[in-house]
Each structure stands twice: as C-alpha cells, then as structure tokens.
Amino acid sequence: MRFFTQPPLFLSLSLSLSLSLSLSLSISPLRVCYSSAILKSLRPSARPVNTFQQDIPPEICKRKRGRKGGVRARVRRRPSKPFLPTIITGNARSLNNKLDKLRANVRHLHEYREASILCFSETWFTEDTTNASVDLKRFNVFRTDRNSFLNKSHGGGVCAYINDRWCHPNNIQVVHQSCSPHVEVLTLQLRLFYLPREFPSIFMNVVYIPPLANVPIATDTLSDLIHNQTTKSPDAAIFTTGDFNSCTLNAALPNLTQYVDIPTRRQRTLDLCYGNVTQAYKCVMPSHPSVTLTTTCLYYFLCTAQY
C-alpha cells in the first residue's frame, strides 16, 4: 500500500515565489511616452496673479530703480532747493550805481533771495573795484573785468553771484576767464549740496559779446569752450547766459536749447540762455517789475526739469 504525504509549507511557498519571478521576468513592463505637444499643453497658460500685491497702494510700491531713482521724490520734498540753478540774468549797464537797489531786492524779495545764481553783463567793474564793495549778503561774487589794454576804457565785464545756501564756496571753481574785443567770458564749475547722479557737476558760463564784436570769432570761442567742457565732463549740465547782441549759438551748437522766448530789449531778444538740458527752464519776468533795477532788463529762469 502506498501512502502520499503533503509537502511542507515552506516548499510550496518557494515554488510559488519562483514561479511568480519567472513569470514577471518573461513579461516586459509598460512604458508611457509623452510628446512635446502634450508636455507644452500641460504648462500653465499664465502666471498666478498675486492678489496681495494688488492691495498695496501704488505710491508705496517698489519700482525699478536706475540712475534717476528717487530724484523726483527728493525734488518734491525740497521745492526751494532745486538741483538745477534758478537764475536771474540781465544787462546791468554799470552795476556800481545799482548795488543799493540790488541789496534791497535780495533782502526783501524771495525771487532774489532764493535765486541760485545772479548773472550780470556790462558790470563796468575795474581793477580798483574790490569784492568787498560789491558783495551781497549770503552770496559769493565771481567776476571778470575788462582789461585795461583794450581800446575801450570803460564798460564790459561780467560777474556771477552764487548763493551759499545752494553751493558751498569750497565747491566753486573758476575754470576759465577771458576778455577780448570780441567776447568776455567767466566760467564756473559748481558741485552743489543737492545734486542727482545724472549731473556730476554744473558749468556756468557768463558771457558778454559787444555790439561791434566779430561774430564768427565770438561764436568759435564759445563753441570751443563748451566743447572742452563737454569733453572734460560728458554728463555735466552746461549753461551759458549773458548779453549776446547779434550772436547766436544755434548753428554752431544745435544740440543746445535756448530758453529765452520773450523780447529782452524792446522787440529784440539779445539776452540769451543756452543749456544742454531739454525743457530745463521757463523764462519769466520778476513778479515785482516796479522794484527791478533801473534801466536793467532782468529775467528769472525757473527750473522746470522733470526727473
């Protein structure tokens, strides 16, 4: 008689495991392939909207900052201290006999007191005229007098009064002084208290061209002077003002802007102001014409540049 016994449990488990492994090795796994079109379709159509950013008021939102970052805000905080000079210019025709009136205007009128620069042509100062006799309170005077070797014994001369609340005297440098029968020039280089990064410095040219001057020579002299200033400091603000008479710089320096758009001597515009900053100034008459200097045409240049 034959007896059949049941195999052990561990033997049956090993047989089933080996069978499943052999079956799994014989069957290849499935691969899922995606095309580029399908992958692009899975990409979100737009970036999610940040609702928190929309709730921030626009005046305190951060904006892209560059070379002009923050300049406009600083100018609004200091409306009485502009980075470009407010200029009062005119032909004095002897400033010695008008100093009392000029000192009174500086003391009582805000246009003169808060002006950055006072520029005068035909000062008629001589070598015997001292700075102490022609000074103004809170202003520093710089002048170029007519030389004694010229044929004309009197007349001519230019000067500039710099407000010390706008520019410290240590930051004022006399770059050029010249006096010839054709043109008289005073050039100052200024580094201000409040100066944006756009302008490393400011060049101020005060000019007087006599009526009988040789216009081509005067134009070439001023053109070479301004070209040298541009080469020395390409980003500097350059302004040229004074009595030009029959001379202009429109053809020689077409990149400059002429700001005077009103007659300065009867129906003619003889006192001009040029600059390399577009729309920098608005030319207006002083608000108190009855107290302006006698026989002197003064014009107030208000800074209107936007940054």
Show pLDDT as tens, one digit a residue, over the chain (307 residues): 444 455 554 444 454 545 444 544 444 456 778 788 888 788 776 555 555 555 666 666 665 555 455 555 666 666 556 678 888 888 888 898 899 999 999 999 888 888 889 999 999 998 889 999 999 999 999 999 987 666 566 788 999 999 998 899 999 999 999 999 899 999 999 998 777 777 889 999 999 999 989 999 999 999 999 999 999 999 999 999 999 998 999 999 999 999 988 888 778 888 899 999 888 888 877 665 444 554 445 655 565 554 4
Which tokens sit at 22? 């052999």
pLDDT value at position 224? 96
Number of domains, the chain: 1
> How far apart are the C-alpha atoms of 190 and 164, rounded to whole Å?
11
pLDDT value at position 32? 77
- Residue that has been written with the tokens 């909207």 in this structure: 49
Q: Is residue 219 one of the residues assigned to a domain? A: yes
pLDDT value at position 290? 42
pLDDT value at position 295? 42
pLDDT value at position 280? 81
Q: Is residue 134 one of the residues assigned to a domain? A: yes
pLDDT value at position 19? 47
* 156 and 143 Cβ atoms separated by less than 8 Å: no
Please state the length of the chain: 307
- Residue that has been written with the tokens 């095309």 in this structure: 35
pLDDT value at position 43? 76
Query: What type of residue is 75?
Result: V
Which run of H or E residues covers position 171? none
Provide the domain limits for residue 129. Answer: 78-303
Q: Is residue 14 one of the residues assigned to a domain? A: no
Rg (CA), the chain: 38
Q: Is residue 124 one of the residues assigned to a domain? A: yes
pLDDT value at position 11? 42
pLDDT value at position 48? 56
Count CA atoms within 13 Å of residue 292 on its CB side. 18
Q: Is residue 177 one of the residues assigned to a domain? A: yes
pLDDT value at position 147? 78
pLDDT value at position 291? 44
Q: Is residue 103 one of the residues assigned to a domain? A: yes
Query: 296: domain CATH number?
Result: 3.60.10.10
Q: Give the count of beta carbons closer than 10 Å to the beta carbon of residue 77.
A: 8
133 exposure class (CB count in 10 Å sphere: 0-12, 13-18, 19+): exposed
Which segments of 109-243 does DSSP mark as H helices, in order?
A: 110-113, 215-232
Which tokens sit at 215? 């216009």
Which tokens sit at 179? 């006096």
